[in-house]
Amino acid sequence: MSEPATNQRIAVLIDADNTPPRHAGPLLAELAQYGVATVKRAYGDWTTNQLTGWKDNLNQHAIAPVQQFAYTTGKNATDSALIIDAMDLLYSGNLDAFAIVSSDSDFTRLATRLREGGLTVFGLGQRKTPASLVAACDTFIYLELLGDASGESSDSPADGADGADGADGA
């Protein structure tokens, strides 16, 4: 477990296809206890109606949207874009930590690789997050425990988390 260090530079990479937008503020507030979010990006196909709930949160929290079209049905181009950016950021040498915001087990190897590179990895996801991703992170924070607990019981498609990217943890 890593100790909180408020001067850590953190890259916050959000799988918007897999994370309800109402968690944006609370997760950034939580990460502020550990350092400064110097990179804040949310990945998804912003041309779809699925992510409309995210648009206000992007502006409110200065999160840069990263557009990734779905090239074909059933594939996960968004995850690939997030992983490529994470590796580019790792090799830039300007960061101390990463926050991977997703409940998708596909990011387990990314978390492991970032830790092998000597960086702290914070995972943030819903209770449905597979144990493999939880274990691959230095610290894992369940989104349901952050912020206002009212209305936390349902992560409906209107929240931007319909699992359309195969992010059911499988």
Question: Which residues partner with 12 through β-bridges?
Answer: 40, 99
- pLDDT tens, per residue, the chain with 170 residues: 455 557 899 999 999 999 999 999 999 999 999 999 999 999 999 988 889 899 999 999 999 999 988 766 655 778 999 999 999 999 998 999 999 999 999 999 999 999 999 999 999 999 999 999 999 999 999 999 997 544 444 443 334 433 333 333 33
In a domain, 85, yes or no: yes
The answer to whether the pTM exceeds 0.95 is: no
- Name the residue range of residue 122's domain: 8-146
In a domain, 159, yes or no: no
In a domain, 43, yes or no: yes
In a domain, 161, yes or no: no
- Count how many domains the chain has: 1
Q: Which two tokens stand for residue 59?
A: 């502006």
pLDDT for 7: 86
In a domain, 154, yes or no: no
Helix boundaries (H) for the chain: 24-31, 54-60, 77-92, 108-116, 131-136
In a domain, 38, yes or no: yes
Residue 156: alpha-carbon gap to chain centroid: 18
In a domain, 1, yes or no: no
In a domain, 140, yes or no: yes
CATH number at 59 reads: 3.40.50.1010
pLDDT for 124: 97
